[in-house]
Amino acid sequence: MKKITRKNPIQVPSPVGNYSHLTIIPKDATMYALSGQIGVGVNGELPSSLTEQVRRTLKNIQLILEAEGLNAANVVKANIWATEEINWDDFYQQWETMFGNPYPSMTIAYITALGLPEIKIEIDIWAAK
């Protein structure tokens, strides 16, 4: 199978964050769509801080990917919704630990609420293999 390719074409401005403008998925790839993941722990607890919710959310994503024999290199797109302003220094440190560079494509939006009032961030992932 051909490799997933990530690019930032020189014709457009550089990304304003840790993501790639373009991810090319080979035509013979199997696609994986993860439902939006939140920072809930194994016992159903949800931390109150956004930073800890980010950490747990990324861990839950990693566990789902591993269950399918995938890893961060297979991630092609992340959609991120947050209900409060993200501490980008902390977020990108965690993001870098999980994904490294080149990064997957990303969309982020600030919204007023998620599925439960205590959820501060939700991330859905598209992956390919």
5-30 tens-digit pLDDT? 999 999 999 998 889 999 989 999 99
pTM of this prediction exceeds 0.75: yes
What are the tens digits of pLDDT across the range 46-63? 999 999 999 999 999 999
**Is 63 exposed, middle or buried, given 0-12, 13-18 or 19+ CB atoms closer than 10 A?**
exposed
Closest to 56 (Cα-Cα) out of 67, 129, 64:
64
Name the burial class of residue 91, with classes exposed (0-12), middle (13-18) and buried (19+) by CB atoms within 10 angstroms of its CB: buried
What is the per-residue pLDDT for 1? Answer: 58
Identify the pLDDT of residue 2.
77
pLDDT: which is higher, 64 or 1: 64
pLDDT of 42 higher than 80: yes
What's residue 17's pLDDT?
Answer: 86
CATH number at residue 96: 3.30.1330.40
Token readout for 74 is 């297979």
In sequence order, the 6+-apart residues with CB closer than 8 A to the CB of 90 are 51, 54
Range of the domain at 81: 5-128
34: confidence class by pLDDT, cuts 50, 70, 90: very high
Residue 108's pLDDT is 95
* Residues of the chain above pLDDT 90, percent: 85
Residue range 65-102, pLDDT digits in tens: 999 999 999 999 999 999 999 999 999 999 999 998 88
User: How many structural domains does the chain have?
Assistant: 1
The residue among 86, 111, 99 whose CA lies nearest residue 23 is 99
